[in-house]
Structure 1
Amino acid sequence: MLLLKRADGKSQMYMIFSQMLKIFDREDLEDLYKLVKAKYESTRPVEDLDLLLWGDLKTMFEPHVEDELWRNQQEHKVLDWKLYDSCRVHSLMMQSMQIYRLVEKKYPLTPPTLSMMLEKKLIIDYESEMAYQLLKFIMK
């Protein structure tokens, strides 16, 4: 469970990261990343939820081809592929993990993972130009 308090005094509790992505816009997401990054610049998160949030944000904003996540992706089957239009993020639900990615950023996905994504089809709440652009970007 994550409790976020905004500068305007409003607070909101989120049970899972994907709930945030449905409500956040891109600016909110970038602000959260900056805050979490600043908090853990010199230390590592200790609590499970902090570690999970930091891991999701770091993977999204700072992907490194050497990370275990990317090296071992061929071991995981893609179950679901979803677009969060408001914050320009798409997620891959795989057998034992979920990967959140920025729409306009290239990630080190293998051809088999890309094929599984396209086989599953992109889940969107409504038809959007961003979904079309994402598919076009992925196919390059």
Structure 2
Amino acid sequence: MGGYKHSQLKGKSYEEIQGLYERQQKRIQDFTPMDSEKEAQKPGKRLKRVTGSYATQKSPKKPKVMKSAKDVTEEEAAEYEKEKEELRLSLKIISNDDSEVNYEPLSRKFPIVNWEYQLLGKMEAKDMYVYKLTRADGSSSYHGDTQAFLRRLDRQDLNDLYRLVQERFQDHPLEGHDLLLWGDLRMIFDPDEKDELWMNQLDWKLLRWKLYESCRVHTLFMDGTPMEINMLVEKKYPLIKELLEKMLNLQLEAEEESTMAFELIKFIKSFLEE
């Protein structure tokens, strides 16, 4: 339910796993689908944002009833397996390239309360600067760049960091690498569709497309400028169809087959069908 892998749960006690399950179960129970009757009744919910324009909200759809395993017919199971086979054509399984991924259970993790860019030391006679993240329990971790954040943090960590940078940016002007971090996080959480960056997609030389499942982010790696484009898996960005086709042709890199990976590929395919 929370996207955890077997390696993350291995060695954990029953109570720890139960805590993770209950936390995810609460999120699901509290979630209100955008097309549900409850959401539709909220005042002002007449229009929805659709990639830079507004469209009339459709009539609320009747929520689908989840079927149990016993209710799934052999025909439906066969269709599901056929769909996965098609999605696998756009998926590439790769080994984890970072042995320092933090798999600490969310129930025991303290929130991030501060960050700073500082000199860590020298490496090959060159100064080595890193981002230092500090948690509520006083522990610290060091990260070289935004990609290191995505490899080692989960979504809640990323949300905490964005909130902290946002608050500091409102009170004090950011400079240097702090300003770069602010720009990277804004691109993820609050992209500006009028930014010149999105206008030059035909010139992007796409090299890789990768999923960071722990923080629910997928990244486009480029040759040249921009170097990376980081995006939330559930958020719609102003990507042109030519780029979407390149992404699917390159295949999504993931550590293993997962519901998130398959749903992301389906999400991208749905853009092409619009």
Task: State, as a whole percentage, how many aligned pairs show the same letter.
Answer: 48
Give the secondary-structure state (helix, strand or coil) at the position aligned to 1:40. helix
**Residue among 252, 266, 269 paired with 1:136:** 266
Give the secondary-structure state (helix, strand or coil) at the position aligned to 2:136. coil
Residue identity in the other structure for 2:257: E
Residue identity in the other structure for 2:165: V
TM-score (norm 2): 0.49
Which structure 1 residue ranges, 4+ long, deviate > 3 Å from structure 2?
Answer: none
Q: Is the 8 A contact 1:77 1:116 kept in 2?
A: no
TM-aligned CA deviation for residue 44 of structure 1: 3.9
Give the secondary-structure state (helix, strand or coil) at the position aligned to 1:126. coil
Q: Is the 8 A contact 1:70 1:108 kept in 2?
A: yes
The structure whose residues are more often helix, as a share, is: 1
Give the secondary-structure state (helix, strand or coil) at the position aligned to 1:4. strand
Structure 2: distance between partners of 1:6 and 1:105: 27
Structure 2: distance between partners of 1:52 and 1:120: 28
Which protein, 1 or 2, shows the higher relative CO under an 8 Å CA cutoff with sep ≥ 6?
1
Residue 171 (structure 2) pairs with residue 24 (structure 1): no
Q: Which is greater in Rg?
A: 2
Ranges in structure 2 where 5+ consecutive residues have no aligned partner:
1-129
TM-aligned CA deviation for residue 12 of structure 1: 0.5
Ranges in structure 1 where 5+ consecutive residues have no aligned partner:
none
Q: Which residue of 2 aligns with 1:86?
A: 214
Q: Which residue of 1 aligns with 2:180?
A: 52
Give the secondary-structure state (helix, strand or coil) at the position aligned to 1:63. coil
Instruction: Report the number of matched residues.
Output: 139
TM-score (norm 1): 0.94
Q: Which residue of 2 aligns with 1:72?
A: 200
Q: Is the 8 A contact 1:81 1:91 kept in 2?
A: yes
Give the secondary-structure state (helix, strand or coil) at the position aligned to 1:30. helix
Q: Which residue of 2 aligns with 1:2?
A: 131
TM-aligned CA deviation for residue 20 of structure 1: 1.5
Q: Is the 8 A contact 1:78 1:93 kept in 2?
A: yes
Q: Which residue of 2 aligns with 1:40?
A: 169
**Residue among 197, 210, 231 paired with 1:101:** 231
RMSD: 1.2
Structure 2: distance between partners of 1:40 and 1:136: 36
Residue identity in the other structure for 1:94: M
